Amino acid sequence: MMLAAAAMGSEPYLILGAILFAMGAVGLLIRRNALVMFMCVELMLNAVNLSFVALSRELDDLGGQIAVFFVLVVAAAEVVVGLGIIVSIFRRRQGATADDLSVLKG
């Protein structure tokens, strides 16, 4: 059982990463809700991370896993700043969309 998992290449992971990235990109372009757009960006980042790890394992190189570490650090900072902005928008308006960013001008 373990032998079959070790023999599997990186193609299924790359296909899954491409599908997840496409879902995130379509969601980002179609939806206007700021929170949903934020989640789509996070989905796209995680799809890229999956591809980095799959290729890192395939090439037997730690560079991809190190890149994933830095992407996760940047994503964590993005979550803090992004959620702060989204919460401040939703405090002013309940049904806020991405077009309502002008509300933050003051």
Instruction: Give the model's pLDDT for residue 92.
Output: 78
- Please indicate, yes or no, whether the overall pTM of this predicted structure exceeds 0.85: no
What angle, 0 to 180 degrees and rounded to 10, lies between the N-to-C axes of helices 34-59 and 11-30? 160
Task: Report mean pLDDT in 10-residue bins for the chain, 106 residues.
Answer: 66 96 96 87 95 93 92 91 83 73 64
d(CA 63, CA 10): 16
17, 48 contact by CB (below 8 A): yes
23, 45 contact by CB (below 8 A): no
Query: Three-state DSSP class for 97?
Result: strand
